[in-house]
Structure 1
């Protein structure tokens, strides 16, 4: 059921909730994208009440800033307060994994469980990024000329969508189904907010360099599950520093899956999440 969450500064956020049980709030990646985690909700909504939302300026939410990490943490808190209740589990994917982690660090008393899916860790040197660039180009090889031509041309909505589909196809392990999965992510096409992407990514880089997130993670006293796909083009070693800093953390790698492990390993993804929440309830 779609609803509107209004933040304290008056921004209207699209949200959706389904299922019954303890609340689980999902945080999509990007930044600058919309919620694409409907398949995750459908995997879990017989066990938990799943709450999804489009982040500020993205998808069906109001297109307005400011685009800062603290502002997104506050928006997530508004979603939690208005739809989830006093304490929720939070699952974040990619950039959304960092957002979920920051929320748990800022408001640990409001989080029962943290599920960190395909994030990129807290290494201030971002040592994973050069490997990601090489892996992206390698996996895009069959479509690389077209992808580069689209990047160099005018960015109309149709061009932006085609380029995104090609790039997102690299996030899947199986080349035979990668384009189809990427098309599913891009349907419906709600447009990318590049201003949001640039601003938040730049701030995250600064935060990793200047804030001692490892020390804050060592003090975090709540259960954390890290889920990885070993075929992710972002090397999973980037998450090692986060895993080592957390005192109450499990880590699961789902064979045969890339950056979106629930797509390519749905049964194992569901089992990992539900077992974790049930065991630490």
Structure 2
């Protein structure tokens, strides 16, 4: 598809039924929802955000532009309103889209997001280093060097291994297949812009959001789940599902639990039957 500013974006639809527009994590990564099963009666609209994956390598890499791209994907698929599901950075993007266009979002599913504040990073770094253990030395070595493409993939797989409680290597390899270059420019630009928005400003905006929201947390996520508490308190219509013993990518570690939570929630508000 072509966005309103002429950027070519890759998009794909899988399944049949009521649409769910997916926003993948990153920033600077690509769609990894290929194994996400939301249950019968739903279809996934997937896409690669600009600058990454199968989409065109061009900016601008701003939150305003990314929100506009979400709307462009919705419009290109011919939808007036749609349920939006986001993971990690994509959960934040989905929330920002709902805040900008609440009339176009029937429901929001916020999976493994990092909340509205910015003070969770130090705890995350400590947990990440502890989980990697002896492998952290190799991770740091790769981070510090000029990397070729195989070393880029090795670094990503090693880093993503820490996002799981069990079978981390296998799940991380699946996430890295197919492999695309990581867009570090987009990652840095969007990460910095997110840090410029004060938490109280986002809390105030969320208080008036009437879009029903499901928060899904893997309680063994290295990113502290208390960081999402202020979001939960601010939203007028919110359900929170906590999955014990599950890490940052819950549909890979606990697919049945995620499918049940998403289906039960969307049946209340989207009603595909």
Task: Give the structure-1-normalised TM-score.
Answer: 0.94
1:15 aligns with 2:7: no
1:278 aligns with 2:272: no
Q: What's 1:250 paired with? A: 239
The runs of 4+ residues in structure 1 deviating greater than 3 Å are: none
Q: For the residues of structure 2 that align with 1:228 and 1:11, how far apart are their CA atoms?
A: 33
Q: What's 2:48 paired with? A: 54
SS of 2:44's equivalent in the other structure is strand
1:152 aligns with 2:144: yes
RMSD of aligned alpha carbons: 1.1
Residues 204-256 of structure 1 show CA distances to partners (whole Å, capped at 9, x for unaligned) of 010235x7111110000111000000000001000000000001000001122
Task: Identify unmatched segments of 5+ residues in structure 1.
Answer: none
Residues 158-216 of structure 1 show CA distances to partners (whole Å, capped at 9, x for unaligned) of 11110110000000012xx101110110011111000000000000010235x711111
Task: Give the structure-2-normalised TM-score.
Answer: 0.97
Give the C-alpha shift of residue 279 in structure 1.
1.6
Task: Identify unmatched segments of 5+ residues in structure 2.
Answer: none
Q: Paired residue for 1:35, among 31, 34, 38?
A: 31
1:79 aligns with 2:111: no
Give the C-alpha shift of residue 156 in structure 1.
1.2
Q: For the residues of structure 2 that align with 1:84 and 1:270, how far apart are their CA atoms?
A: 25
1:133-212 to 2 correspondence within 5 Å? 133-174=125-166, 177-208=167-198, 212=201
Residues 72-127 of structure 1 show CA distances to partners (whole Å, capped at 9, x for unaligned) of 0000100001115000000000000000000000000000000000001112xx22
Q: For the residues of structure 2 that align with 1:8 and 1:102, how far apart are their CA atoms?
A: 19
